[in-house]
Amino acid sequence: MNSVFPIGLSRRFHQLASLPYFYRLSGPLALWLAVPGALLAAYSVFAGLFLVPPDYQQGDAFRILYIHVPSAWLSLFGYTSMAIAGVVALVWRLKLAEIYIVAAAPVGASFTLVALVTGSIWGKPMWGAWWVWDARLTSELILLFLYLGIVALHRAIETPRTAARACALLAVVGVINVPIIHYSVVWWHTLHQGATVQLTGQSHMETNMLVPLLLGALGFTLVYGWLVLWGMRVQLLWRERRSRWVARMLTDD
């Protein structure tokens, strides 16, 4: 029976699922993500803090959004990608999907923490308090607990594959919180402002403010990819440390 995919594309998927092939590919790819990601993120933060004009309503307090918005975006993107990897790990039992979840969890937790802290810094002058039990903030805090739960679950179970599958299950179940976070400002009365940047429709920002923010979101995303790839490489070497290909690679080096 002929494959649904072209032969070349099918071979490429099989190569990506190969642990030695992924390890060789991920090293150079991580560096290609790191350099432009760091440059774009640095430019965005610098432009947000020093170059763009003050907001006509929020004044200089809005500048923290150049860190907050990309971090909040990655908190949702990271967990959603982990849930997708969780489905792949549970259904097709691919080791790379399991490794991705384990490597992405601490990175996603870090960006979620940054989003919460910068949101509190922004909220103090806007709301008069560092923290309120707002629907958006509360659901984002639950997301941080889900990330930390996956990290703790992986460390609590000694068998790597059993731990990874348990983490995959938690990632899939917990993803229900992602649309709750995204639509919380629509579904409930909330102090948190609505979306400033629209994927469809007109964004509520001037172009000179919007462009650095979008470049920052791209840069932060590339940095996320770099950190996750390096984390996957570490997890991969640890899990496969007794395999022949790791021994052969260490011998060759």
Q: Is residue 17 part of a domain?
A: no
Residue 149 included in any domain: yes
Tell me how many helices (H) and strands (E) the chain has: 9, 0
Q: What pLDDT band is residue 218 in, cutting at 50, 70 and 90?
A: very high
User: In the chain, what percentage of residues exceed pLDDT 70?
Assistant: 85
**C-beta separation of 147 from 101 below 8 A:** no
Q: Is it the case that residue 41 has pLDDT exceeding 80?
A: yes
6 dihedral zone (left: phi>0; alpha: psi -120 to 50; beta): beta
Record the tokens describing residue 17, joined without a space: 């699922």
pTM across the whole model: 0.89
Closest C-alpha among 128, 112, 118, 123 to residue 67: 118
Tell me the Cα Rg of the chain. Answer: 20
Asked whether residue 214 is domain-assigned, the answer is yes
Domain total in the chain:
1
Kindly state the tokens that stand for 158: 């000694």
Domain, as residue range, for 168: 30-191+203-252
Residue 87 lies in a domain: yes
User: What residues form DSSP beta bridges with 59?
Assistant: 55
